[in-house]
Structure 1
Amino acid sequence: MDEQRKLILDQFSRQAVPFSEMHSRDDADLHRLLIRTAGINADDTVLDVACGPGLVACEVAKVARHVTGIDLTPAMIVEAERRQQSLGLTNLTWVRGDAQPLPFPDGSFSRVVTRYSFHHFTDPKGVFAEMVRACESGGRVTVCDVFSTSAGQAELYDRLEQHRDPSHTHALRLSEFDALFAGLADVRREFYRYPVKVDGLLSRSFPGPGGADAFREMVAADVGVDRIGIAATNDGGLGFSFPVVVVSGVK
């Protein structure tokens, strides 16, 4: 196993419960946006890549015929199974496995989605190619993740997030998302802001030595400047908003 996968396993084994608790409370609007942009309906079989604790998969399962969630981290699959059981959903399957390669035949799903995962991949092009391969012809592939708008902003954003989460690799620029989806049809793009308070976020994170202080300092220095693109604020406590894009295209 390469070093990046080891980092992901380490971070998300520890983050499984706090990540689930954080996003289960306030992600309803983003779930609706993703489902609408991906065009998911009652006839669809859906693959959720890097499904984490099953937050997206369980919401999609309320709409789709069947959802398969795959994740590298066993602790995340455990949380996903717990969430499914608590919601009484029966149309879900969980797989412990990698995103590259995906362990599914070509054209296995009518919709392939992923959320908050691409900034952890060392080879997003390769993962995206696997998502397209696993999608049937005429199906739709959807990626929801943080983004940047320039090389300079991406460098700052990546440095910020690596202070908090050593498994972060790169927040793709919008131009990089455009390049990924260039071979697909009817490409849709929607934007979303996810606001957080720094202290609360850090309480659910597992940074390396000195990482929390460095993260806090970078956010504070960006208040009123916005070089990082996070709309940092000190109104009622230091906080900012994750910039999120949902991009979807037809194979």
Structure 2
Amino acid sequence: MIRAWLRRLLPAAQPAPVAAPEPVPAGVSPRDIGLHDAMLDGWFCGDRGELLKGFAITPGDTVLDVGCGEGVATLFAVRQGASVIFTDSEHDKVRDLARQVQAQSEQPNLGLVSNSLPLPLADGCASKVVCMEVLEHIDHPEPFMAELVRMGRPGAQYLLSVPAPVGEHLQQGIAPASYYRSPNHVQIFTPERFAALVEEAGLVIEHRQATGFFWVMGMIFFWASERAAGRDLGGAVRDRIQAPYPPLMESWARTWQDLLAQPDGLAIKRMLDGFMPKSQVIIARKPPAAEVAR
């Protein structure tokens, strides 16, 4: 049914000098396909040192990753030679990430268990600030944003993301009710509200994008599978979804890989990302000290 629905989005068949995609083996990982999908959007450009296109990390940077989770951004920064400060409210995540950072970095690094209000860090401690998929968990996002701005140096660059409203509202019909209660998602940001939150905190927006249709559908299939199995993970978030994956999620990952292999697959992906993204992303910058003083 899903494959038929996606076929209707494809243009009329045209002769194309492209080879048929290789068969995808059973047991394909949704996380691997999701990573490939993210890289098509400009994420994790290791050869250019860009966590996202337009957000480069260099050995001279100190990167603050607030709500680090599994540490994807922190470990990317470590591989670029930067110093990292990473925080999360969950002790196990900070502990496990600290072990990985210590094994891979010779730079000064710091891991903190904190709810971030406030963070025990000096003003202007970071040249790059990352806060992805965190603000939706915060009861009062304005003072949280003020704390992020405090810790960036003048001229510091920020990479911020929150779930997009269309995908959030769609999941409300199938996700457990606890997914939309503290400490899970207690805020839904329209694009206008998200931009206003960033700008009113004193940052200047440099870039915006929507991404992740693949994961909206993947999460819906995850919730459906959990319901069918009689399980309720109490508001599980994406970084807790690990192998073995439900067959429905694996089937969706194969379908998405098949779509991307089509001649117009990338164009269709971008259209779907704009129509129903998982996340909305903002790259912003703290004004230089001279501008702040005016």
Q: TM-score range by the shorter chain?
A: 0.5 to 0.7
Match of 2:233 in 1: 206
Match of 2:281 in 1: 246
For residues 234 and 45 of structure 1, do their structure 2 counterparts lie closer, same or farther at Cα, with a shift above 3 Å needed?
A: closer
Q: Contact 1:108/1:135 (CA < 8 Å) preserved in 2?
A: yes
Letter in 1 for 2:234: P
Q: Contact 2:210/2:277 (CA < 8 Å) preserved in 1?
A: no
Q: Given the two structures, how large is their TM-score scaled by the length of structure 2?
A: 0.57
Q: Contact 2:51/2:76 (CA < 8 Å) preserved in 1?
A: no
Q: Contact 1:187/1:248 (CA < 8 Å) preserved in 2?
A: yes
Q: Contact 2:206/2:282 (CA < 8 Å) preserved in 1?
A: yes
1:175 counterpart SS class: helix
How far did 1:234 drift? 10
Letter in 1 for 2:72: L
Runs of at least 5 residues in structure 2 that lack an aligned partner in the other structure: 1-28, 237-247, 257-275, 287-294
Match of 1:188 among 203, 207, 210: 207
Q: Given the two structures, how large is their TM-score scaled by the length of structure 1?
A: 0.66
Whose strand proportion is higher, 1 or 2?
1
Match of 1:56 among 70, 73, 76: 73
Runs of at least 5 residues in structure 1 that lack an aligned partner in the other structure: 1-20, 212-232
- Describe the superposition over 1:111-157 as per-residue Cα deviations: whole angstroms up to 9, x where unpaired: 111112111111122211110110011111221221226xxx86565
1:42 counterpart SS class: coil
Q: Contact 2:88/2:115 (CA < 8 Å) preserved in 1?
A: yes
Q: Distance in 1 between matches of 2:91 and 2:30?
A: 19
Q: Distance in 1 between matches of 2:210 and 2:141?
A: 20
Q: Contact 2:124/2:151 (CA < 8 Å) preserved in 1?
A: yes
Q: Distance in 2 between matches of 1:246 and 1:45?
A: 21
Determine if the alignment matches structure 1 residue 103 to structure 2 residue 138. no
Structure whose alpha-carbon radius of gyration is higher: 2
What's the Cα RMSD here?
3.7
- Percent identity of equivalent pairs: 21
Larger mean CA deviation between 238-247 and 188-197 belongs to 238-247
Q: Distance in 1 between matches of 2:160 and 2:123?
A: 19
Match of 1:170 in 2: 187
For residues 82 and 235 of structure 1, do their structure 2 counterparts lie closer, same or farther at Cα, with a shift above 3 Å needed?
A: closer
Determine if the alignment matches structure 1 residue 147 to structure 2 residue 169. no
